[in-house]
């Protein structure tokens, strides 16, 4: 089986500072998944890489001609394609459409699901319509604290915590060229920052992975604090696992059809009954938490990413894993 594994930033090495800061994170996901796929006896891994980089046990191809033409050409000769890319500016959606136009199965999320979940505002509105606990953008901004981020953002890039009275100044100074309808403002919510993931096989059957903690830092910048993602640890204590699983399962039952890996960011609130738990956003691609998951679900998770229906080991047998955003495991 020939698999094309494509990570957008490593294939293009963008000069734009906003994206270039994510290259190390992209490389960590790409190299980890490439190693895991190559460990399977029946899989041959191909990828597109810029800058002369190579990966062991992987056939790397440079871009020849346009990016989309190269992707379409390499996808056509594969048995399946897995895409990893930032959601911003429609990049991941466009890449998915290119693969879907070939005869090769897309093993990650479809362009339809990607377009929906890449838009954080549309996702929040959909979850609200389905009565799934989330954060709806609030037009009635008060004196509390709010999280401000691009509606098509990735990770914590350009994500700020700001007091309500300072929001206008934040928009003017940090997002001067960003239309207001391209930003999302949500109330700051107390609780544990957490994440989990769904891996949906070729039959549409989901496996919910364990919930883990997300590690964030905040850096003061003028009137606001900038969030920075540092990595995570897993699993969370058992009392949080059922809460996370129930919340995600409830949402999945109402989602449009999806396939592949979806990362789900959560806030697990202070109430033990889960009444203040919320879904923050859904990432229609491999997330950095994969760096931890691959240690807890060796081979079984990799085969599920290929669409195979493979059972995952029980949580009781799992050690605690710590990982950074650039792939350092502790």
> 63-77: per-residue pLDDT in tens?
888 999 999 999 999
325: DSSP letter: T
Cα–Cα distance measured from residue 55 to residue 48, given in angstroms and rounded to the nearest whole number: 10
Between CA 206 and CA 213, with CA 209 as vertex, the angle to 5 degrees is 145
Look at residue 280 in the predicted model and tell me its pLDDT: 94
Look at 130-144, 160-174, 300-314 and tell me which has the smallest mean pLDDT.
Answer: 130-144
Q: Rg (Cα) of the chain, in Å, rounded?
A: 19
Please give the average per-residue pLDDT across 253-268, as a whole number. 92
Same domain (yes/no): 195, 78: no
Cα–Cα distance measured from residue 266 to residue 2, given in angstroms and rounded to the nearest whole number: 35
Same domain (yes/no): 34, 125: no
Look at residue 313 in the predicted model and tell me its pLDDT: 83
Residue with tokens 């020939």: 2
Cα–Cα distance measured from residue 262 to residue 14, given in angstroms and rounded to the nearest whole number: 25
Q: Which CATH number goes with the domain that contains 15? A: 3.40.50.11770
Same domain (yes/no): 195, 263: yes
Domain contains 236: yes
- Specify which residues 221 forms β-bridges with: 224
Domain contains 156: no
Which of the four pLDDT bands, split at 50, 70 and 90, describes residue 254? confident
DSSP SS3 for 48: strand
Same domain (yes/no): 87, 195: no
Cα–Cα distance measured from residue 82 to residue 180, given in angstroms and rounded to the nearest whole number: 33
Q: Is the pLDDT of residue 17 over 60?
A: no
Cα–Cα distance measured from residue 28 to residue 191, given in angstroms and rounded to the nearest whole number: 28
Q: Is the pLDDT of residue 20 over 80?
A: no
Among the candidates 74, 108, 142, a domain finishes at 108
Supply the pTM of this predicted model.
0.93
DSSP SS3 for 20: helix
DSSP SS3 for 216: strand
Same domain (yes/no): 85, 127: no
Residue with tokens 């959606």: 93
Same domain (yes/no): 92, 126: no
Same domain (yes/no): 262, 129: yes
Look at residue 15 in the predicted model and tell me its pLDDT: 63
Give the other-Cβ count within 10 Å of 232's Cβ: 24
Domain contains 166: no
Q: Is the pLDDT of residue 214 over 60?
A: yes
Give the other-Cβ count within 10 Å of 315's Cβ: 14
Domain contains 41: yes
- As for how many domains the chain has, the answer is 2
Cα of first residue to Cα of last residue in the chain, in angstroms, is 33
Domain contains 225: no
List the domain range (segments joined by +) for residue 267: 120-133+189-216+230-324
Q: Which CATH number goes with the domain that contains 238? A: 3.30.470.20
Q: Over the chain, what is the mean pLDDT?
A: 92
Q: Is there a contact between 147 and 214 (Cβ–Cβ < 8 Å)? A: no
Sign of CA dihedral 254, 255, 258, 264: negative
In 3D space, the residue among 111, 2, 104 whose CA is nearest the CA of residue 46 turns out to be 2
Give the other-Cβ count within 10 Å of 122's Cβ: 15
Same domain (yes/no): 195, 65: no
Same domain (yes/no): 97, 127: no
Same domain (yes/no): 124, 103: no
Q: Is there a contact between 282 and 123 (Cβ–Cβ < 8 Å)? A: yes
Same domain (yes/no): 194, 267: yes
Domain contains 24: yes
Task: Give the burial string for 168-197 (b: 16+ CB within 10 Å, else e).
Answer: eebbeebbeeeeeeebbbbeebeebbbbbb
Cα–Cα distance measured from residue 291 to residue 297, given in angstroms and rounded to the nearest whole number: 11
In the chain, which ranges are E strands?
Answer: 2-7, 44-48, 58-61, 80-84, 145-150, 160-163, 183-187, 192-200, 206-208, 212-221, 224-234, 260-268, 278-283, 321-324
């Amino acid at each position: 089986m020939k698999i094309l594994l494509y990570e957008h930033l490593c294939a293009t090495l963008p000069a734009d500072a906003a994206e270039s800061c994510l290259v190390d994170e992209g490389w960590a996901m790409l190299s980890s998944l490439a190693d895991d796929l190559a460990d399977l006896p029946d899989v041959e891994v191909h990828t597109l890489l810029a800058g002369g980089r190579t990966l062991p046990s992987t056939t790397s191809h440079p871009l020849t001609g346009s990016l989309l033409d190269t992707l379409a050409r390499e996808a056509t000769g594969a048995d399946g394609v897995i895409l990893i890319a930032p959601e911003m500016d429609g990049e991941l959606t466009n890449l998915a459409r290119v693969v879907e136009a070939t005869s090769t199965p897309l093993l990650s999320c479809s362009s339809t699901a990607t377009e929906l979940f890449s838009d954080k505002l549309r996702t929040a509105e959909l979850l609200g319509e389905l009565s799934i606990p989330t954060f709806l953008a609030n037009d009635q901004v008060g004196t509390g604290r709010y999280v401000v981020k691009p509606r098509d953002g990735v990770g914590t890039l350009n994500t700020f915590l700001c007091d309500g009275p300072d929001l206008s100044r934040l928009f003017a100074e940090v997002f001067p060229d960003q239309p207001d309808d391209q930003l999302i403002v949500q109330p700051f919510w107390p609780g544990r920052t957490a994440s989990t993931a769904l891996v949906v096989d070729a039959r549409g059957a989901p496996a919910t992975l364990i919930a883990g903690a997300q590690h964030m830092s905040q850096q003061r910048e003028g009137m606001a604090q900038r969030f920075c993602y540092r990595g995570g640890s897993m699993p969370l204590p058992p009392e949080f696992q059922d809460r996370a699983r129930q919340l995600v399962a409830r949402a999945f039952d109402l989602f449009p059809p999806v396939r592949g890996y979806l990362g789900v960011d959560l806030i697990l609130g202070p109430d033990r009954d889960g009444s203040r738990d919320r879904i923050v956003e859904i990432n229609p691609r491999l997330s950095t938490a994969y760096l931890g998951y691959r240690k807890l679900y060796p081979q079984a998770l990799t085969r599920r990413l290929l669409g195979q229906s493979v059972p995952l080991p029980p949580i009781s047998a799992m050690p605690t894993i710590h990982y950074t955003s650039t792939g350092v495991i502790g």
